[in-house]
Amino acid sequence: MTQSLLLLLAVSCFLARFTDSLRSPDGRLYYGFATLRGMWLFDYPSPPSEALPELSKYRLRLVDFVHAVLSVLVFASVALRDKNVVDCFYPQPKHETKEVLDTLPLGVGVICGLLFVVFPTRRHGIGYPVTKEN
């Protein structure tokens, strides 16, 4: 059960990195999911009421996948710090296992943090403010 919940949360963490938002010329905010061809808006009215910016510039790039994988790594390292999760997977961990579980989040956090800085993304998730460039 715990494994299923952690897997579901990891998948949602992965997929959340591909959500984006954009502002139309009239100021309305639309949310969508980035695809290989561009943005797929899921809250846009079916008959287009106004022109939108070019949606193909919102297509998936390599940096999106890098951020998604790094986000899952950060989630997994934080989840493995929880006592209940550790007790579920390692009821009586050995000393070496405890050391790894204690140092893993720090290492993953530093490495992922550096990679997030080196490879920034311009993608906005749902609920984050849209910058003026978008």
Domain ranges, ordered by start, for the chain: 61-123
> In angstroms, what CA-CA distances link 113 with 21, 79, 117, 126?
24, 17, 6, 21
Task: Give the per-residue SS3 of 92-132.
Answer: CCCHHHHHHHHHHHHHHHHHHHHHHHHCCCCCCCCCCCCCC
> In angstroms, what CA-CA distances link 13 with 19, 44, 52, 67, 80?
11, 24, 28, 10, 15
Tens digit of each residue's pLDDT, the chain (134 residues): 889 999 999 999 999 999 988 887 777 888 889 999 988 888 777 655 567 778 888 899 999 999 999 999 999 999 988 889 888 888 888 899 888 888 988 999 999 999 999 988 888 878 777 766 54
